[in-house]
Amino acid sequence: MTTLFEVNTKLTECLHDFGLECHPFKVGWYNERVKSGYQLEHHEDTLCFVVISSPSFFEKGFIPFVRNSTESNNQDYLDQAISSCLKTAIQSISGYDISILHDYEMRPGTRRPKVLVQTAGHVSGAVYFYQKTDVINPPWLTDQPIYGVCLHPSYIGWFALRAVIIFQKVLVPDLVYKPPKDILVDETKKIELLNRYNNSWQDWSFRDIMEPTERYSELQQKYLSTRPSERSHLIELIKRN
């Protein structure tokens, strides 16, 4: 458990400076939930962390990254910023065999993501993953696809699940499962959340299904609602100010 404590403390401290959170879980908890095509091929007791960007990531991690970067390859600035912050955090803990799976990475030759970050978030206890199956009397047709969505106990919908960090050779058989908080105890709220997420996600109202402690800043909202191909003037603005 000392390894877990040390790694957890260092990662948490370092990521916090960038507005990122991390929460530990075991591969086995994740694999128990997902179908075989999504499973992680590691021992069931392998230590992993799910990484969440809080509303302040934009100001604490993203903007400094943009201001310090001299050139850009074609990759999204947000993805580059996350990757750079994670690399910095990992450098603070040496001697481990670590792999990072980003939310946008696909398994080669398939259209399946390397990791389902919502399930990872749920089994880590950090966020609750609301799915169609959480609703006892669903108003939807049985075969109607309804995408699930996670809520954070503080930021509600104002966050993103960015990555999973795997400590390939660290086994934590004694890690204690911490169930996520179901903050929507009312069935009608769960239905409303899933309807907002599936039918009107563009208006972002699913993020406000309850009152959050923090929301994205105006600039962050503007940046995210601008198409990636049209973000260059915002990047210039951020670099200049």
Phi, psi dihedrals of residue 156, rounded to the nearest 5°? 50, -100
The verdict on 150 binding ligand B12 (CB under 6 A) reads: yes
- Which one of the spans 18-26, 33-41, 43-51, 228-236 is the region binding ligand B12 (CB under 6 A)? 33-41
From residue 209, alpha-carbon distances to 82, 135, 149, 186, 197 in Å are: 27, 16, 12, 12, 10
Nearer to ligand B12, 35 or 227 (CB): 35
CB 86 within 8 A of CB 165: yes
**23 near ligand B12 (CB under 6 A):** no
- Based on the shown chain and the rule CB under 6 A, indicate whether residue 129 belongs to the binding site for ligand B12: yes
| Count of beta carbons in the 10 Å neighbourhood of residue 75 | 10
Q: Choose which of 27, 161, 172, 238 interacts with ligand B12 (CB under 6 A).
A: 161
| Nearest in space to 21 (alpha carbons), one of 62, 58, 49 | 49
Secondary-structure percent of the chain, ordered helix, strand, coil, rounded to 5: 40, 15, 40
Of residues 15, 160, 165, 194, which one binds ligand B12 by CB under 6 A?
Answer: 160
- Does 35 contact ligand B12 by CB under 6 A? yes
Q: Which of 13, 17, 76, 147 binds ligand B12 (CB under 6 A)?
A: 147
User: And the tokens for 192?
Assistant: 């409303």
**Site for ligand B12 contains 113 (CB under 6 A):** yes
Instruction: Identify which of residues 46 and 118 has a Cβ nearer to ligand B12 in the complex.
Output: 118
When the beta carbons of 35 and 240 are compared against ligand B12, the nearer one is 35
CB 77 within 8 Å of CB 231: yes
Based on the shown chain and the rule CB under 6 A, indicate whether residue 117 belongs to the binding site for ligand B12.
yes
Least distance (Å) between residue 71 CB and ligand B12:
25
21-58 as b/e: b if 16+ CB within 10 A? bbbbbbbbbbbeeeeeebebebeeebbbbbbbbbbbbb
Residue 122 engages ligand B12 in binding (rule: CB under 6 A):
yes
- Among 14, 40, 66, 149, interactor with ligand B12 by CB under 6 A: 149
Residue 177 near ligand B12 by CB under 6 A: no
- Give the interface with ligand B12 as residue ranges (CB under 6 A): 33-35, 38, 103, 113, 115-119, 122, 129, 131, 147-150, 157, 160-162, 197-198, 201
